Amino acid sequence: MAEKTIAVPDFSLSPHVDQVGIEERAARFTKRSIKKETKLNGLLLALNMIDLTTLEGKDSEGKVKQMCYKAMHLLDVYEGLPTVAAVCVYPSMVKTARAALGDSGIHVASVATGFPSGQAPRDVKIRDTKFAVQQGADEVDMVISRGKFLEGEYNYVFDEIAMIKEACGDARLKVILETGELVTYDKVRKASDLAMHAGADFIKTSTGKIAPAATMPVTLVMLEAIRDFYYKTGKMIGMKPAGGISKSKQALHYLVMLNETLGEAWMNNHWFRFGASSLANDVLMQLMKEKTGIYQGKDYFPLD
Binding site for another protein (CB under 8 A): 294-300
Q: Which is nearer to another protein, 69 or 300 (CB)?
A: 300
Q: Which of 26, 54, 40 is nearest to 276 (CA)?
A: 54
Query: What's the min distance (Å) between Cβ of 76 and another protein?
Result: 18
Q: Cβ 300 to another protein, closest distance in Å?
A: 6
CA proximity to 141, closest of 56, 76, 50, 205: 205
Beta carbon nearer to another protein, 260 or 304 = 304
Question: Which residue among the candidates 165, 174, 190, 240 is catalytic per the annotation?
Answer: 240
Nearer to another protein, 131 or 301 (CB): 301
Cβ neighbours for 263, distance < 8 A, ≥ 6 positions apart: none
CB-nearer residue toward another protein: 139 or 282: 282
State the nearest-atom distance from the C-beta of 288 to another protein, in Å.
9
240 is catalytic: yes
Burial of 282 (0-12, 13-18, 19+ CB in 10 A): buried
Cα gap 116→206, rounded to integer Å: 9
Sequence letter at residue 24? E
Please confirm whether the linkage preceding 212 is cis (ω < 30° from 0): yes
Instruction: Decide if 235 is catalytic.
Output: no
Neighbours of 242 (CB within 10 A): 26
Q: What minimum distance in Å lies between the beta carbon of 36 and another protein?
A: 15
Catalytic entry in 51, 141, 193, 282: 141
**Cα–Cα distances in angstroms (integers) from residue 34 to residues 148, 163, 166, 250, in the given order:** 42, 43, 42, 12
Which CB atom, from 1 or from 294, has the smaller least distance to another protein? 294
C-beta of 78: minimal distance to another protein in Å? 15
- Tell me which residues are annotated as active site: 141, 204, 240
